[in-house]
Structure formats: C-alpha cells, structure tokens
Amino acid sequence: MAPLGPRLGAPRGQARRRCRLRGVGGVVLASAPHPAPREPRRRGAGAVISATRRGLRAIRSLRERRRTELCALLATDSAQAALALHGTPLLLLDPERVRAQYRRLSAALPSVRFHYAVTALPHSAVVDVLAEEGCGFDVASGDELALVRRHGVAAGRLIHTHPVRKPAEIADALAAGVRTFVVDSETELEKFRDAAPDVRVLVRLSFRSPQGGSDASAKFGVGPFAAGRLVARARELGVRVAGFSFHTGRLDDPERLADAVADALTLMRHLEDELGIRFEILDIGGGFPVAYDTDVCSIEEFGAVIEPLLAPHARRLRIIAEPGRILAAEAMALVTSVVGIAERADGRWYHLDDGVHGAYSSVTADDVRPLVYALRELGQTAADSESRRWATLAGPTCDSADVVAREVLLPELAVGDLLASPAMGAYTIAAGSSFNGRAVTPVAVVVQGPSTGPVATRERMPEAVAVA
C-alpha cells in the first residue's frame, strides 16, 4: 500500500495538462481546479503579451459561440411561443442537446456505461431523452428515484450514490429494485447487513481538489487504508463490495482524472491480491467540465486520455460514470427581464427578475460565472455593436448578496429589456429556492427547427421531482 498513500486521498501537485488549455497565457484560467503551485517561468514581456492576446481571443471565441447558440435557440418558434406565453424569467430547455452530449460522451469513452446524475437537472424531458438513449441513472434521494421510476426506467439501470442515507430511504430504494449503492463508512455499511445477496455496495474513495471551485471529496470518501478496512469489515458483515467509486469534483484536467483512475485500479488489484476477492465495478464519477466563461477541455480530449487507461480493464470490470453537468448544462438557457435600474456608487445596476436564489443559484452555490447577453444585441457582432457600459446585474430579492454578475459590458438597457444566459442547465434551478416568496423559475421545453404543433410545455421543478 505504500505507494498509494501520498496519492489517493491527498492533493496531487504535479498534474500535467495534456489538452490544450485556452486560458490566458496558456496557463490555468479561473476554473482549473488543480494547478501545481509552480515557480512562474520567466518570460519576456512580448511572450506574455502575445499569450494574453491568445487567451483573450479564446474567451471572445467562446462568447461568439455561445452567442450563436443562443440566437439559434431563441429564433425557434417554440422559444418565441414559450416567451410570449410565459414571459420571464423563463428557462428554455432543449432536450436534444442532452441527447447530443450523451452521444458524444459515449463515443469518446466507449468502455464506460453512463448513469446520468439526476441531481444536476431533475427534469422529465431530460430523463425521457436519456432513457431513450439507453443511459442509466444515478439518484441521490427518494424523490429522484421516484422521478426516474415514473418515467418507466427499470430499477436495474439505477445506482444510488449518496454515501449517507436514512434507513427508510435505503428500504424504499431496495423495495423499488435498486441494487447498487455507495458507502464510505462502517455505519453505512451496517445498514446493508441484512440486504439480499444481489445487493452490492461501492466504497467511495476520496480524491481531494482543494484548489478548485468544487472539491467533491471534502465531505465524502475515504483513503486507501480506510477503504481496505471497509472491504474487510464488509466481508465480516456479509455485505458484498462490488468495487469503488469516486468523484474528483469539477475538473478541467483529464490527467487528474487519469491519476484517480490509475490509483483506484491499483488499490483494487492490491486488495484483490491481499483479500483473495474479485471486484466487478469501477465508478469514475462525474466532474466533466463545461465552458461557462472560459473554454475547457472537450469531451473528446478527456476520452483521448482516459479511454486507453480504461479499455484494457473493460472485459473484467464494469466501468461506469455518473456525469451530470456535462449532459445538462448546455441544454438550457435562461431569459430574464430588467425590472429596475439604479446609478450607485460603483456605477450602473440593472435589477433582473431572476437571481442567485432562483435559477442563478449556480453563481453562489457552484462558483459559476454565467455569460449574460442583452437580447437585442444578440444578432450583432462585436464590431457593429452600439456603445456599451459596464454594469452590475442584481437579482430580484431583498438580499444584498443577490448579485448575479459584476462588470458586465452591456448596451444601454431599459425596464422590460430582455437578457439571456447560456449553459444554465446544471445545478441552477435544481438548487434554486422560492426565497422572498418568488416562484421557482419555470422551464419550457423547446425544440429546435420548424415547429408543427403545440411546442412549448411548462414544467415546474417541484412537480418534476414530486413523489409519485
């Protein structure tokens, strides 16, 4: 076990970044979770300036790409109809984007079977499209389980990965037919003591990402020695440990994921030799990144690094993953209106009808910096746009912390003008609330391309996750 100690469960400092990072200076922009604290390389001013220019060009190109996507979505008959019908704030969900992402992910990682992490966006249309594609589902609660079951998903396609649950929740999931669960403590293991022989658990490993925006091992997961002890204890209790799971947190570095995979495989081999057992499952978690305000490694770049590591094990192990963000984020856009305008000490403020207690919850809870466009300038290029000014965007509640974005360059806006943010599908409305008595932002399901019938439907998330 000696070589595992400093790796598994501890921050790694030497991640090589194989995919082309498009941040300023080719170094890490804000979202990179695990850069090694290196000595800055001494470079001439010219090199720094040209690297900065490259970085700024990359950010501009992401902005242009998102602008084009928003234009296409908002030009559809169904988006127009939904906006006319419901007004703002409104989330526009295109489930076909979820399908396209799932297909890309499956093509890039053919050795992996995917279980959509319903938590990211627990919406019927997303469940339907992924169920059609043959995707599995990862649920974290009884309500999420009920949602996917209502859509006819067989229990065999589900995994329950929350490492700590009420006994009653486990009993309900078992009764529904779920057979794969995650644990990371002896207390949780004991809850499965009397489970049927076909029930299996995965032990959650910890891979810290303390420098990133999200460290999914800050709360859950164990290091290799504790993992070994749990496997041994499970044998005493008669609980079947099928393998291991982990979640590296949101990461923009395929090498970090590769390190975690390699460490988990090493641990599995070691315990198999030591305890004379055979594991069946490796669950490589979620964490695939999304380009919010800066570009990130693509699905294909992750596949190019991870697939060669996994493929040799795919015959003896069932390799699974639980992606949420990468499937859901780009499928939804938010449209809001300006409801108030104020000149404050730090300049112009626009108050919107949605904020961080609603669909923009990702700003505070998920460390996301969303792009925001004024609808009337969407069709324009940077060159032909009218004069703009920097502004702060605030949400509608009385909470002073309800600020969506600062220093956003926008044209002069009036009350009633519309704004839109792309990539608002993951951990947005799912974590929003009705604080200040404001209704949860509705979701309209839209279709791209010419419409032929009733195209916009409205679904409120509480209904989407209500227990059947």
Ligand X SMILES: Cc1ncc(COP(=O)(O)O)c(C=O)c1O
Query: Which residues of the shown chain bind ligand X in the complex (CB under 6 A)?
Result: 117, 119-120, 138, 161, 247, 250, 285-288, 322-326, 426
Residue nearest to ligand X (CB): 286
Classify residue 13 by its DSSP letter: S
Q: Give residue 58's identity as a one-letter amino acid code.
A: A
* Cis peptide bond prior to 89, omega within 30° of 0: yes
Closer CB to ligand X, residue 17 or residue 325? Answer: 325
Contacts 24+ apart (CB under 8 A), 392-395: 392/344, 392/346, 392/347, 392/348, 392/349, 392/350, 393/349, 393/350, 393/352, 393/419, 394/349, 394/350, 394/351, 394/352, 394/355, 395/351, 395/352, 395/354, 395/355, 395/356, 395/357, 395/358, 395/360
* Shortest separation between residue 360's beta carbon and ligand X, angstroms: 17
* Shortest separation between residue 118's beta carbon and ligand X, angstroms: 9
Cα angle 389-393-399, degrees, rounded to a multiple of 5? 150
Q: How many CA atoms lie within 13 A of 453 on its CB side?
A: 1
Q: Alpha helix locations (H) across 115-253?
A: 124-133, 142-150, 167-176, 186-190, 224-237
Distance in angstroms (rounded) separating the CA atoms of residues 283 and 256: 15
* Shortest separation between residue 432's beta carbon and ligand X, angstroms: 16
Closer CB to ligand X, residue 120 or residue 393? Answer: 120
Closer CB to ligand X, residue 123 or residue 247? Answer: 247
* Shortest separation between residue 217's beta carbon and ligand X, angstroms: 11
* Shortest separation between residue 202's beta carbon and ligand X, angstroms: 10
Closer CB to ligand X, residue 279 or residue 302? Answer: 302
Closer CB to ligand X, residue 246 or residue 350? Answer: 246
Q: Is 118 helix (H, G, I), strand (E, B) or coil?
A: helix
Closer CB to ligand X, residue 118 or residue 199? Answer: 118
105 neighbors 323 (Cβ within 8 angstroms): yes
Classify residue 245 by its DSSP letter: E
* Shortest separation between residue 160's beta carbon and ligand X, angstroms: 10
Closer CB to ligand X, residue 148 or residue 413? Answer: 148
- Give residues with Cβ within 8 angstroms of 202, minimum separation 6: 161, 180, 181, 182, 183, 241, 242, 243, 244, 245, 281, 283
Closest CA to 378 of 327, 418, 324: 418
* Shortest separation between residue 327's beta carbon and ligand X, angstroms: 8
Classify residue 222 by its DSSP letter: B
Residues β-bridged to residue 438: none
Closest CA to 335 of 93, 121, 95, 89: 89
Closer CB to ligand X, residue 296 or residue 374? Answer: 296
Active site residue 19: no
* Shortest separation between residue 426's beta carbon and ligand X, angstroms: 6
The alpha carbon of 162 is separated from its chain's Cα centroid by a whole number of angstroms, namely 16
> Annotated catalytic sites, by residue?
398
